[in-house]
A and B are shown apart, each in its own frame.
Chain A
């Protein structure tokens, strides 16, 4: 049962960005010992709310109470001082330092670091919460799940009483996600307060003690997960209309080969063999950092193949990327929406033109007016909010920015699409929309989908490939249930020995 005074009480918080109302009169109690899940579509105000708590933003009106006393959180330092800590989606760790150094960084007021005693403290802390980490391992070599554990330990070491997780499972394997949930339960049991933001409804239902649903900056529903709600019902309440949690998928007859990768090595890749036809969707699954990035960048022309060959639409890699005309038939939807797919300081029209500019060029002239009309229509068709072409990209929420990128990339009617984590950070309604669009695009194009979400891969793919340490460990048809069942092991590298053997046999039958 919740104690009478909540650890944190938000009262009537409002925050607007110019004319855009991010959150509006939100009141919310956060109790020690409980896990509160925040659900909501993109742009519903979840991130704004968390930034207010973490001291990064200040509310326009309303107050925050800590143990019943009013506090002003006008800096991140202050929030940390009051015991509020946040685990960001993009970890904030020093890659070149080891685990212990990252945890104690900036925490000792003394001139001399008493390393051994600090190490003992951290060790004790890790043991208490069931976290198993080598404190002397450099961050560089850790998996995403381990890095997240370092972030958690960092907050616990700072004696944080409220831990906020922003989509913590987006970068984790299923096993790592289970570990995280165990840690979260452990922390709740030790009287910490947990707030966690997620788009995955099943995990929310299984772990949260309370669920609050945000829509357009307001809390529209508060749900007790014990009430026996189904994920579909939860989705309906969140989106406001029934949501199918799967997509209608029609078989498409594969046609000509659009991509052929032969014996590609270098940049961390090892002998990749890959073929993709028009009308086919191939998912590459695997834990982030197992060569997906290098493979994608090679296929998309950002780095040349070191060894082996890559042929796109029948052309050699170098010929393909030397020709501006052919290049427009390839679409790359990168994971990094802010840093790579868009220019944050430019307006939406200029961002739309980034990869479509050749289509609006006549001689030296760029017909921005024509492009603007096309964009107006796309903003409407893809339901990008707010639909104002004069806004700067940084003013858009992550989900809306992703929709803009997709609208732009599909507009070119590409024949080869490489989509990297296209639904990461998107709410289910938006993700469903992206899936539908990808499947539709598949009728005209071959698609490579790089994803960490196995469910997504299974829902969409014709074939699934598993990557581990630069190898494409196996590719299998969606109908090959026996192999699909082994994917989690393959992602963890447990299949590698066997794979080497089969490969050996293939070469020397």
Chain B
């Protein structure tokens, strides 16, 4: 009898890109397989389920447009949390910062609805960014001054942010129709669609901001300092880097981007403020950032894929009466398999014939 032995060996070099891509793809396939197996519980043939999912996500021009539309807020929120994650500051408050951004933009749209478009839109952007940024600054200050854990504070501020939105639309900003929503924005407060498609010009904001982020980390001193502090705080202190300042900076940038996403959602997608805009983009953004390993281009791709997952699950809901929670289950499965797959990036398995 021949005996073989499996052994683990630590890789001595960083893994090349092709291996990361391979492991990522493999992990996603495993996650999809597991999810489809879950469908058998409801007597649905796994392959049929998969087909409905994929058709809903990427199967038609309309589906692809819907994906892009969902990918936009996901991309911006994720870009934001990734900045904080680089410094190992765990901002899981993108949802609340997104909500505050939407509120800030709405405030301007309702107050200065008559202003010309070229003035009103920048005003809304500034208001959204300032509200989102300041909202994110609170946990940063708490952390550096009082030693409060940023995970807890950002998490709790999410609920406050969401409830603040509810408070406004159920209260002072309620439309005359009586529904919990503001009045529709004036045309000057709206970012229009590109041509006849349903995708709006906000996607160009994503391109610019994504590029800016990439340049920031590649070529600026602050970007470099964030990277160094994220690797080793002790060394960063030794090198005289302003750690506390950087913590506040990344949180503000993080909140700014989530706020911007909130602005786009009200201005380009819904054209008013209403509670239904809070669908958890800020939470999914965390998954996206990790799946993409904090890389801006990767975040763009992953945002699109996870937006596709959302669209596909909606299709499953319509065609096969699968509960909406199934989307969250799949998201979680993908994150877990990809994170577990990271093991193969730092270790390899050696098959040895036993002596």
Contacts and interface: CB of A to CB of B under 8 A. Distances in A.
B9 interface: yes
9 contacts: A74-B7, A327-B240, A343-B228, A343-B231, A343-B236, A353-B228, A354-B236, A354-B238, A366-B219
In order of increasing CB-CB distance, the 9 nearest A-B pairs are A17-B12, A343-B231, A18-B13, A354-B239, A366-B221, A343-B232, A345-B231, A361-B221, A364-B220
Given A302-B238, A346-B227, A350-B228, A58 B9 contact: yes
B229 to A, nearest CB: 9
B209 interface: no
Contact of A366 (B7, B12, B220): B220
A356 to B, nearest CB: 9
Interface stretch (A134-142, A222-230, A332-340, A488-496): A332-340
Given A17-B13, A18-B13, A364 B231 contact: no
A368 interface: yes
B245 interface: no
Contacts of B236: 343, 354
Contacts of B224: 350, 353, 357, 366
A366 B238 CA distance: 19
A395 interface: yes
A324 B241 CA distance: 10
B239 A364 contact: no
B110 interface: no
Interface in B202-259: 218-225, 227-228, 231-232, 234-240
A267 interface: no
B147 interface: no
Contacts of A395: 12-13
B197 to A, nearest CB: 37
Contacts of B227: 346, 350
Nearest to B231: A343
B172 interface: no
Given A341-B235, A366-B224, A70 B355 contact: yes
A482 B349 CA distance: 63
Contacts of B195: none
Interface in A1-42: 16-18, 20
A365 interface: yes
A372 interface: no
Interface size band for A: 35 or more
Interface in A378-420: 392, 395
Q: Give the most central of B218, B220, B224: most A CB within 10 Å.
A: B224
Contact of A340 (B7, B218, B222, B235): B235
Q: Give the most central of B14, B219, B220, B232: most A CB within 10 Å.
A: B232
A366 B224 CA distance: 8
Interface in A312-362: 321, 324, 327, 332, 334, 339-346, 350, 353-355, 357, 361
Q: Give the most central of A350, A353, A354: most B CB within 10 Å.
A: A354
Interface size band for B: 20 to 34
A72 B12 contact: no
A301 interface: yes
Contacts of B7: 58, 74
A355 B239 contact: yes
Interface string A282-321: 0000000000000000000110000000000000000001
A482 to B, nearest CB: 39
A340 B234 contact: yes
B231 A344 contact: yes
Contact of B221 (A327, A355, A364): A364
B220 to A, nearest CB: 5
Contacts of A341: 235, 238
A72 B355 contact: yes
Contacts of A18: 12-13
Contacts of B238: 302, 332, 334, 340-341, 354
A484 B240 CA distance: 37
A392 B14 contact: yes
Contact of B219 (A16, A340, A365): A365
Contacts of B220: 364-366
A343 B219 CA distance: 19
Contact of B240 (A16, A301, A364): A301
B13 A344 contact: no
Nearest to B223: A366
A17 B219 CA distance: 31
A70 B354 CA distance: 12
B235 A368 contact: no
Nearest to B224: A366
A344 B240 CA distance: 18
A345 B14 CA distance: 10
Contacts of B222: 364
Contacts of B12: 16-18, 20, 395
B134 to A, nearest CB: 22
A252 B343 CA distance: 56
Given A334-B238, A342-B235, A366-B220, 7 more contacts: A301-B240, A341-B238, A343-B232, A346-B231, A350-B228, A353-B228, A365-B221
A458 to B, nearest CB: 29
